[in-house]
């Protein structure tokens, strides 16, 4: 909706790239299942002051689809001819894992009032038990463990 608002407020920059009625175009965009393309990516780039780089095929250099010379970049992967997924740098995985770990620890301690050290001891014990027990069982007791 923020993008639609931006497009409406900056109509003069984008109207020439839209076929048909600009108001009908904006109305279509209100549908969350509507696909977006270059016009909307250009608007998002200006809104958030970030350039967009899109990967389309393996082993092919990505395309910088907005060239506003913003220092920050958004990396996307265009797949199946109609879908964009975010591409995270490898370093993101490491930092997000640490954040997720801290979040879960706070959740267990502060919300569920659980002693995390007991959970960790239990995990260590079950890992040792699992290593010693090579037989896999589908019984209800094992799934509760």
Q: If 0-12 CB within 10 Å is exposed, 13-18 middle and 19+ buried, where does residue 84 land?
A: middle
Residue 47 lies in domain = 2-87
Residue 99 and residue 60 in one domain: no
Report d(CA 99, CA 16) in Å as an integer.
44
Per-residue pLDDT of 12-56, as tens digits, reads 999 999 999 999 999 999 998 888 889 999 999 999 999 999 999
One domain, residues 11 and 76: yes
Across the range 78-82, mean pLDDT stands at 82
Is 123 found in the same domain as 83?
no
Average pLDDT of the chain to the nearest whole number: 83
CATH of the domain at 39: 3.90.70.80
Residues 71, 109, single domain; the answer is no
Whether pTM > 0.75 for this model: the answer is no
Q: Are 63 and 52 in contact (CB under 8 A)?
A: no
Q: Please give the backbone phi and psi of residue 127, each rounded to the nearest 5 degrees, phi first.
A: -65, -40
Number of domains in the chain: 2
Average pLDDT on 75-96 reads 83
Q: Are residues 56 and 35 in the same domain?
A: yes
38-48 helix and 2-9 helix, angle to the nearest 10 degrees: 90
Helix (H) or strand (E) holding 102: helix 90-106
Residue 10, pLDDT score: 96
């Amino acid at each position: 909706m923020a993008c639609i608002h931006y497009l409406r407020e900056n109509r003069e920059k984008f109207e020439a790239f839209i076929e048909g009625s600009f108001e009908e175009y904006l109305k279509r965009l209100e549908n969350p299942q509507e696909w977006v393309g270059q016009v909307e990516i250009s608007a998002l780039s200006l809104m958030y002051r970030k350039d967009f780089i899109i990967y389309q095929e393996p082993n092919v250099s990505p395309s910088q689809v907005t060239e506003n010379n913003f220092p920050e970049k958004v990396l996307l992967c265009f797949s199946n001819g109609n879908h964009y997924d975010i591409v995270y740098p490898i370093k993101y995985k490491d930092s997000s894992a640490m954040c997720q770990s801290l979040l879960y620890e706070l959740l267990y301690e502060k919300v569920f009032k659980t002693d995390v050290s007991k959970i960790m001891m239990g995990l260590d014990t079950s890992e040792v038990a699992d290593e010693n027990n090579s037989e896999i069982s589908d019984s209800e007791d094992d799934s509760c463990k």
